[in-house]
Amino acid sequence: MHTRLWIAGLIAVTPILALSPVAFPASEEPGCVIPASESRYNQRLFGSLMRRKDTIAERMLSTYNIPRVRASEVRAVTDDLTCGRAADAYSRAFGEKSSGRKVHVLRVGDRYIVMDPDYRPDDYNRAVTFDATFGKSLAVVAE
């Protein structure tokens, strides 16, 4: 009887173990995090800034050094190559060595806003704006 229960338990657990992080550990390559509520919030925030014409919106666009574009041109980036380049550029911008950094990337027109979701000192947000080359930072924002 115990053997049957043990075998039934093993059969029941097999699909869970096969799809778990134990079987498929997270990649140590730099890239994007899985889209979460923070990334959707940032996409909606920057999309709304494109529609607003007040001084606060203008100041925020200026701070992030991004042009005013259509709200539909504010998109989350999930391309592995772009995410890897963005994560490496973000680390270089702050002089950090982090080979497996995961970031949120928003494409706003021809610029990219790169944010580290794990950066949480006093609930501040830290972001860097890059152009398509990810060569040098166009704006560094800590708010």
To 10 degrees, the CA torsion angle through 77, 79, 82, 84?
A: 110
Closest by CA to 75, choosing from 49, 101, 113, is: 113
The pLDDT assigned to 129 comes to 92
- pTM of this prediction? 0.72
Position 36 scores a pLDDT of: 59
Per-residue pLDDT, 12? 63
Q: Is residue 23, in this structure, part of any structural domain at all? A: no
Phi, psi of 83, deg, nearest 5: -65, -40
Cα separation, 140 vs 131, whole angstroms: 13
Range of the domain at 108: 30-142
In a domain, residue 67? The reply is yes
Q: Which pLDDT does position 119 carry in this prediction?
A: 66
Query: Is 103 among the domain residues?
Result: yes
Give me the residue label for tokens 């259509």: 70
The tally of domains found in the chain comes to: 1
Question: Would you give per-residue pLDDT tens digits along the chain (143 residues)?
Answer: 567 666 665 566 565 544 544 444 445 666 677 665 566 888 888 999 999 989 999 999 999 999 999 998 999 888 888 988 998 898 888 888 767 788 889 999 999 999 887 766 555 678 899 999 998 889 888 76
* Closest alpha carbon to 72 in 44, 41, 114, 42: 44
Residue 20: the pLDDT is 47
Within a domain: 18: no
Indicate whether 20 belongs to any domain. no
Other residues' Cβ atoms within 10 Å of the Cβ of residue 106: 24
